[in-house]
Amino acid sequence: MWSAGPWWLKPLARTMLKFIVGPAYVKFVKVFQPLLTSREDQKDFGSPFVQNSTTLMSQAGDPTNMRDTLRKCKEEGVTLGGALIPMLMLAFYHASNFERKLKGIDNKTDDDVFRFVADVCYNMRQRVPEPAEERQVGLYVSNFPLVWLATEGVNMKSVKFWDLARTSKIQMEARENKPLEMAMPSFFIEKKFSTKHNVDKASW
């Protein structure tokens, strides 16, 4: 998928993956503290895949509501992906506050800023070469790190939903000019998968 990019993209990405990204990821995981406590039966994403018992209640998931949502996003000048980020922020903000209350932990902070570490899937279907050099089956996605939400954070008492959605859209669009950052998560996952299953490295 990335062969249409600059000739130096793959070798540079693999070099950075080996000497910079990989070690940095391991270091990050060792100190990472989840925002919400995992359930005892919660399984991490891995290979081979192990299904979790998590369920999704989609009581309002009918086509009319989806069309209304998409129409509202268009009126506000954002994409559905941009609107998804403040939705996630609100969900984790309220869930983490509720959990802290249950544990008797003070929710007050000095700056009232909520910081959130996460990645979201970035739709690549409209950004691959046409015609694509491989069969377009399934998802064409790359991970999009929400860096500014982890470093700058969001004041949940003052920021408006659609303003954050517009900021998210701008941040996501800025990634289009950074092919190396967009490609890196795919290379990282591919390397982990290939190592796990002893896949021939010459194929990638």
HEC letters along 159-201: CCHHHHHHHHHHHHHHHHHCHHHHHHHHHHHHHHHHHHHCCCH
Given pLDDT bands bounded at 50, 70 and 90, which one contains residue 204? Answer: very low
Q: Is the confidence at residue 86, as pLDDT, over 90? A: yes
The predicted structure's pLDDT at residue 167: 92
Peptide bond into 11 cis (omega under 30): no
Mean pLDDT for 63-90 is 91
The predicted structure's pLDDT at residue 72: 96
Please tell me which of 4-8, 123-127, 129-133, 172-176 the model is most confident about, judged by mean pLDDT: 172-176
Q: What's the predicted TM-score (pTM) here?
A: 0.69
Residue found by looking up tokens 């268009």 in the block: 74
As a whole number, the mean pLDDT across the chain is 76
The predicted structure's pLDDT at residue 71: 96
Give which of 119, 126, 127, 121 is closest to 2, Cα–Cα: 127
Mean pLDDT for 54-60 is 65
**Angle at the Cα of 127 from the Cα atoms of 123 and 130, rounded to 5 degrees:** 130
Cβ contacts of residue 132 below 8 Å, gap of 6+? 1, 140
CB atoms within 10 A of CB 96: 18
pLDDT digit string, tens, across residues 176-197: 777 667 767 767 777 766 666 5
CA distance 156 to 153: 9
- What does the block give as tokens for 36? 């919400």
Given pLDDT bands bounded at 50, 70 and 90, which one contains residue 136? Answer: low
Cβ contacts of residue 150 below 8 Å, gap of 6+? 115, 116, 117
Do 73 and 83 contact (CB within 8 A), yes or no? yes
